[in-house]
Amino acid sequence: MFRVAVFSSKKYDRTFFDKFNTTSDLTFEYFDCRLSEETVELAQGFNAICVFVNDQVNANVLAKLANFGIEIIALRCAGFNNVDITEAKRLSIKVCRVPEYSPQAVAEHTVGLMLTLSRKFHKAYNRIREDNFALDGLMGFNLYGKTVGIIGTGNIGMATLRILKGFGCQLLCYDPSPSLEAKTEAKALTASYVPLATLFQQSDIISLHCPLVPETKHLVNQQTLSQMKPNAMLINTSRGALVDTKAAIKVLKSKQLGYLGIDVYEQETNLFFEDLSGEILQDDTFARLSSFPNVLITGHQGFFTEEAIATIAQTTIESLQKLLNQQAIEPILLVA
C-alpha cells in the first residue's frame, strides 16, 4: 500500500479523490496546510506527495523529501513553476502533473471576466439588491467586432479563441512556439499570428494564456502596458507573475488601462483559497488594486468546475498508480 500526503487540500479535493480512488493500492491523507519548509516534516512516512499551485517545492523542501524517501511529487495542476525541477531530477524524484483538466473551464471563465467588465454585471447586481434600477454608469460595449489578442495558444488559449470567434471578434495571437495543430486551427478561425508588440498595439482586449517561466515573468510591464490602446482591457487567468502588478496600478491610475480582470495575482500565496473575511489584509498592493472600480478580481477559480476537478483527481490517481508500480505513463504527464 502506497501512502500519499495531499497538501493544501480542501473539502472538494477530498470528495473527488476519495470518489475516484477505487483501488486499495493507494491511500490519501489530507493536510489543510501548504507544503513549505515549515510543514515538510508532515511528509515523513509517505511514499508520495500531492501538491497544488501555491505549495513550496524548492531545493530545501526537496532535500528533506528525498531524505524521507518520497519517490513522487504529483502536481494536481498544469503549471510547475513552484517546483525546482532541476533539483528534483538530481534527487531522482519523479514529478507528474495534470497538463489538461478542462481548457474550456478556464476559457469560459476568461470570457466571463471580459463580459462582466464590459457590461458591468457585478455593479448591476449590487444595484438591484438595493432596489436601484437606474442605468446611469452601466453603459458597456460590444465584444462583437473588437480585436482580441491571445498570448499563448496552448489548449486554453485555443479554447478561448473558439469562444471569441463565436462573438464575432477579430483575433490576434502570439506564441513563440505554437504547435502545428494550433497554427492550423488558428488559421481556420481567421486568427492571425503577429509579433508581441503588434498584438499589444492593436488589441482592444488582451488575454494571457501562457506558463510562468523566467522568460514570461512580468511579460506585462510598464513598457508593454504603455503600448496598449487607451482604455483597453487586460485579462489574466494564467499565472499572477505574468503581470507586474505595480506597473498595472500606475496605468490604471493614469487611465491608460481601461479594464483589468484577473483570476491570479503574483503575491496570491497568502491570500487565495483561504477565508480571510475576518482579518485585516496586510497586502497593500492588493488592497490598492482591488479599490479600482474598473478592476475585477476572482480568487483563482478559473479551473473550478465539477468536470475539471474530476479530471484532476482521475489523472492524478492514474499517474500515481502507474509510477508507484514502476509502469510507464504518457510523457506529457511527466515533468522532465
Report the CATH number that the domain containing residue 182 is assigned in CATH: 3.40.50.720
Of the candidates 97, 109, 239, 266, the residue annotated as catalytic is 239
The predicted structure's pLDDT at residue 333: 81
234 in a structural domain: yes
On whether both 243 and 123 belong to a single domain, the answer is yes
On whether both 209 and 124 belong to a single domain, the answer is yes
Of the candidates 34, 109, 209, 300, the residue annotated as catalytic is 300
CA distance 225 to 202: 12
The predicted structure's pLDDT at residue 1: 81
333 in a structural domain: no
On whether both 42 and 166 belong to a single domain, the answer is no
On whether both 183 and 290 belong to a single domain, the answer is yes
**C-alpha cell of 250?**
500606475
The predicted structure's pLDDT at residue 284: 96
**Locus of grid cell 515573468:** 217
Instruction: Answer yes or no: are the C-beta atoms of 304 and 124 closer than 8 Å.
Output: no
SS3 of 61, please? helix
The predicted structure's pLDDT at residue 336: 64
On whether both 276 and 315 belong to a single domain, the answer is no
Catalytic residue list contains 268: yes
Going by C-alpha positions, the residue among 5, 9, 90 that lies closest to residue 54 is: 9
On whether both 131 and 247 belong to a single domain, the answer is yes
Average pLDDT per consecutive 10 residues, the chain (336 residues; last block may be shorter): 95 96 91 96 97 95 97 93 94 93 95 98 96 97 98 97 98 97 97 98 98 95 97 97 97 96 95 93 95 97 96 95 86 79
Give the angle subtended at the CA of 306 by the CAs of 300 and 309, to the nearest 5°. 65
**C-alpha cell of 99?**
497538463
Catalytic residue list contains 218: no
Counting the structural domains of the chain, the total is 2
CA distance 296 to 108: 16
On whether both 38 and 177 belong to a single domain, the answer is no
On whether both 119 and 264 belong to a single domain, the answer is yes
On whether both 36 and 158 belong to a single domain, the answer is no
Of the candidates 34, 76, 266, 268, the residue annotated as catalytic is 268
On whether both 78 and 166 belong to a single domain, the answer is no
Contacts of residue 66, defined as CB under 8 A and 6 or more positions apart, other chains included, come to 91, 92, 93
Range of the domain at 71: 2-101+306-325
On whether both 39 and 115 belong to a single domain, the answer is no
Catalytic residue list contains 14: no
The predicted structure's pLDDT at residue 246: 96
On whether both 83 and 146 belong to a single domain, the answer is no
